[in-house]
Amino acid sequence: MARKPVTRKKKNSKKKQGILHKSVSFFAGYVVTIKTFFKKRKIFSSANMINLVFVLVAVIFMHRLYDLQVVRGAEYRERIDSQYTKEERGKSISRGDIFFTTKDGTKILAATLRPLYTVAIDPRKIENKEALYSALANVMSVDRADFMKKASKKNDPYEEIALKVEKDVVAELKKIEQKGLVFVLQKERYYPGGDLASTVLGFMSFSGDTFAGSYGIEKYYDGILRRAASVRSKSIFASLFTGEEEDANSTDIRKNIEKEGSLNLTIEPTVQSLLEEKLDGVVSKWSSRYSAGVVMNTRTGEVIALATSDNFDLNTDTKHYRNYLIEDRLELGSIIKPLTVAVGLETGVISSDFSYNDTGRIMLNRFPITNYDKKGRGPFTGLQEILTQSLNTGVATIALAVGHQDFSDYFYLLGFAEETGIDLPNEVYGLTSNLDSKKDVEIATASFGQGIAVTPMEAVRAIASIANGGYMVTPRVVDSIEYGNLIPSKNLSDTDAFEVFSPETTKQVREYMINTVDDSETFKQFSNQYYSVGVKTGTAQIAKPTGGYYDDRFLHSMVSFFPAQAKQNEDQYIILLYTVEPKKVRYSSTTMKDPMFDMVDFLLNYYELPPDRLRSI
């Protein structure tokens, strides 16, 4: 006759009896020790009193151990089983939130943690596998064969049957009146806006065994967003009973709480969305390789929108990430010309009545410098014509009059060989070795944005100095850091602006750029009787890797600022848009003007900016 198998209940009963016997014996031994101690020694000596204290502490500890292992042992063992978890790689994280900020100061979630669940079973507790499967299948999709295989493992306390289950589904599962279900809360990084501002936000990924910010804000502020609490594979109860030590790399979150916070961005979600829409439209219409743009407050450096045309959904997509605005060095072309005019005025080499004889061509070091149409405008060509008609010969003449050293010094002062300091990772600085050349042709080409390669953000920062009265500001995408109730928010609005041009110089250049809109045939239709807008376009040839330039590949750019004559205590914005290699179109005024002025008109109304002029146009 086969021996009847011993049930788990009887095994546990024997185990419990063994523990009880050992604990009671150990306790009895201490009682005998105490009794002997009192008989053989004097009680009230100092040494004896210390020994007595140690004995009493040992007795109390044994009583607690007896309570844990015997009296409440079954309860704790059940809690161990229910709390046993497996770390789902990269998802069990604790991390600060990131918020967009609307124009009225409202915070909109840009990045947060989303609760998801791992649904598992404890086969030991399942009473009816078929009933439990049917109940599960009524709520979510479950593979029957896989479920039955896992449910048959009678000695296994934990088998996963579904990952990343939404909390509303779990709420329904918890209504199932069957034993054996286990729910393990996991958290993953979630971006409610999908692809909105993906260039700014970046994302998280693994670096070895560390799951951390890899690009964008997630990387730059990883040390602030990251929480110190570690994820362990078992609960504290499991550690107590199994004797496993706490992870040596885990950190008490309280020790670093002062370094951890959430971020409030300067990015305005509505403006960001419009910018992305306009960039996508340019690529779609002109079949460009890509487009990019930025909107910045010229007074504070606050970036309210920054985007590229190849955004991607941060929740689902993985692709090569590159922030062209700070990681690419480009020859941006004629949008640099207003800076050359400003340098000429600031050094006193030219004045408002400057004019020259434009023949359409000048020879420097055996290289021709020509206007875009190779035509001359004749004598008495002044500063207004140089900027409105974008004359290469004009700015080259000014740069040569300023001189190599002074011209170079000013362009370095404008930050063309240094990082802007924007709080995003991987920023590079411009390649400007031509500024150090003694050849006239190198200074001449630099004066109209060729021969030197700068980042678009460097260009925005420099041109903003003309708009804001002559100051270089530091661009930024984070407004403040929230540390909860423990430490006040760290406001980042203070700028380290410094002056590069006088108010008189910038006022004069602004007027030329405003007149370009009001009086030129290209832009006159966009002139506004309530607001002044300054603009400059750029059409730059793209350099060949082997030297020289392509004849049929161009980079189109356009910059505008508005209200151009705003008072110093009023907000003023600058926009840069550019597109790379548009097809079947020659000049940037064709590709850029419509999306640019759509943005300008929207921002003037959306922010309800005060008019800076009242006149008929």
Q: Give tens-digit pLDDT for 232-243.
A: 333 333 333 333
Q: Please determine, for residue 131, whether its predicted confidence score (pLDDT) is greater than 90.
A: yes
Q: How far apart are CA 415 and CA 500, in angstroms?
A: 10
Tell me the range of 9-23, 35-49, 354-368 where mean pLDDT is highest: 354-368
According to DSSP, the residues that pair with 555 across neighbouring strands are: 540, 580
First vs last C-alpha separation in the chain: 110
CATH class for domain 269-483+493-606?
alpha beta
Mean pLDDT of 355-380: 96
Mean pLDDT of 33-60: 58
According to DSSP, the residues that pair with 293 across neighbouring strands are: 307, 577
CATH class for domain 98-265?
alpha beta
Mean pLDDT of 301-321: 89
DSSP E strand stretches across 193-336? 204-207, 210-213, 262-265, 290-297, 303-308
Could you state, in order of their start, the residue ranges of all structural domains in the chain? 20-69, 98-265, 269-483+493-606
pLDDT of residue 3: 41
pLDDT tens, 182-199?
999 888 899 999 999 999
DSSP E strand stretches across 23-105? 98-101
Sign of the CA dihedral with 435 first, then 439, 441, and 447 last? positive
Q: How far apart are CA 117 and CA 114, in angstroms?
A: 10
Within 221-266, residue ranges assigned H as helices are 222-225, 236-242
Q: How far apart are CA 538 and CA 549, in angstroms?
A: 16
pLDDT of residue 614: 74
Structure tokens that stand for 123 in this block: 């086969």
In order of 7, 334, 341, 508, the CA distances from 345 in angstroms are 97, 18, 6, 9
Q: Please determine, for residue 83, whether its predicted confidence score (pLDDT) is greater than 50.
A: no
pLDDT tens, 540-580?
999 999 989 999 999 999 999 999 999 989 999 999 999 99
pLDDT of residue 72: 56
pLDDT band (50, 70, 90) for residue 260: confident
In order of 85, 200, 282, 312, the CA distances from 203 in angstroms are 26, 9, 26, 11
The answer to whether 470 and 298 are in contact (CB under 8 A) is no
565-593: string of b/e by CB count within 10 Å (b at 16+)?
Answer: bbeeeebbbbbbbbbbbbeebebbbebbb
Mean pLDDT of 93-98: 86
Q: Which of 231, 271, 232, 228 is nearest to 96 (CA)?
A: 228
* Residues 6 or more apart whose Cβ sits within 8 Å of residue 114: 187, 188, 189, 190
pLDDT band (50, 70, 90) for residue 212: confident
pLDDT band (50, 70, 90) for residue 132: very high
pLDDT tens, 474-512?
999 999 998 865 444 555 655 678 999 999 999 999 999
In order of 125, 131, 143, 484, the CA distances from 177 in angstroms are 13, 10, 20, 41
Q: Which of 120, 123, 131 is nearest to 154 (CA)?
A: 123
Establish whether the linkage from the previous residue to 563 is cis, with ω within 30° of 0: yes
Give me the percent of the chain exceeding a pLDDT of 70: 77
Q: Please determine, for residue 399, whether its predicted confidence score (pLDDT) is greater than 80.
A: yes
Q: Please determine, for residue 251, whether its predicted confidence score (pLDDT) is greater than 90.
A: no
Q: How far apart are CA 60 and CA 51, in angstroms?
A: 14
The answer to whether 194 and 314 are in contact (CB under 8 A) is yes
The answer to whether 198 and 43 are in contact (CB under 8 A) is no
Tell me the range of 8-22, 87-101, 547-561 where mean pLDDT is highest: 547-561
Q: Which of 410, 401, 375, 371 is nearest to 387 (CA)?
A: 371
Reduced to 3 states (helix: H, G, I; strand: E, B; else coil), residue 304 is strand
Burial of 53 (0-12, 13-18, 19+ CB in 10 A): exposed
Burial of 562 (0-12, 13-18, 19+ CB in 10 A): buried
Mean pLDDT of 78-94: 46
Higher pLDDT residue, 318 or 479? 479
Mean pLDDT of 283-299: 97
In order of 92, 107, 147, 215, the CA distances from 194 in angstroms are 21, 17, 34, 16
Q: Please determine, for residue 123, whether its predicted confidence score (pLDDT) is greater than 80.
A: yes
Reduced to 3 states (helix: H, G, I; strand: E, B; else coil), residue 140 is coil
Q: Please determine, for residue 219, whether its predicted confidence score (pLDDT) is greater than 60.
A: yes
Q: Please determine, for residue 374, whether its predicted confidence score (pLDDT) is greater than 50.
A: yes
Question: Rounded to the nearest 10 degrees, what angle do helices 440-447 and 392-402 cross at?
Answer: 120
**What is the H or E stretch that residue 299 is in?**
none
pLDDT of residue 511: 98
pLDDT tens, 102-118?
999 999 999 999 888 99
Task: Give one word for 251, left, alpha or beta, with left for phi > 0 and alpha for psi -120 to 50.
Answer: beta
Q: Please determine, for residue 255, whether its predicted confidence score (pLDDT) is greater than 70.
A: no
pLDDT band (50, 70, 90) for residue 48: low
pLDDT of residue 317: 78
pLDDT band (50, 70, 90) for residue 10: very low
Same fold, 98-265 and 269-483+493-606: no
pTM, rounded to two decimals? 0.77
pLDDT of residue 190: 93
Sign of the CA dihedral with 300 first, then 602, 609, and 577 last? positive
- What 3 state SS string does 547-592 have? CCEEEEEEEEEEEEEECCCCCCCCCCEEEEEEEECCCCCCCHHHHH
Output DSSP code: residue 335: G
Mean pLDDT of 365-389: 96
pLDDT of residue 35: 54
Q: Please determine, for residue 29, whether its predicted confidence score (pLDDT) is greater than 80.
A: no
Give me the percent of the chain exceeding a pLDDT of 90: 68
Q: Quick count: other Cβ atoms within 10 Å of Cβ 602?
A: 15
Higher pLDDT residue, 396 or 2? 396
The answer to whether 557 and 597 are in contact (CB under 8 A) is no
Output DSSP code: residue 229: P
Amino acid, single-letter form, for residue 384: Q
pLDDT of residue 482: 87
The answer to whether 570 and 613 are in contact (CB under 8 A) is no
In order of 191, 210, 275, 382, the CA distances from 317 in angstroms are 12, 20, 21, 53
CA 226-229-231 angle, to 5 degrees, is 110
pLDDT band (50, 70, 90) for residue 206: confident
Q: Which of 274, 296, 306, 264 is nearest to 107 (CA)?
A: 264
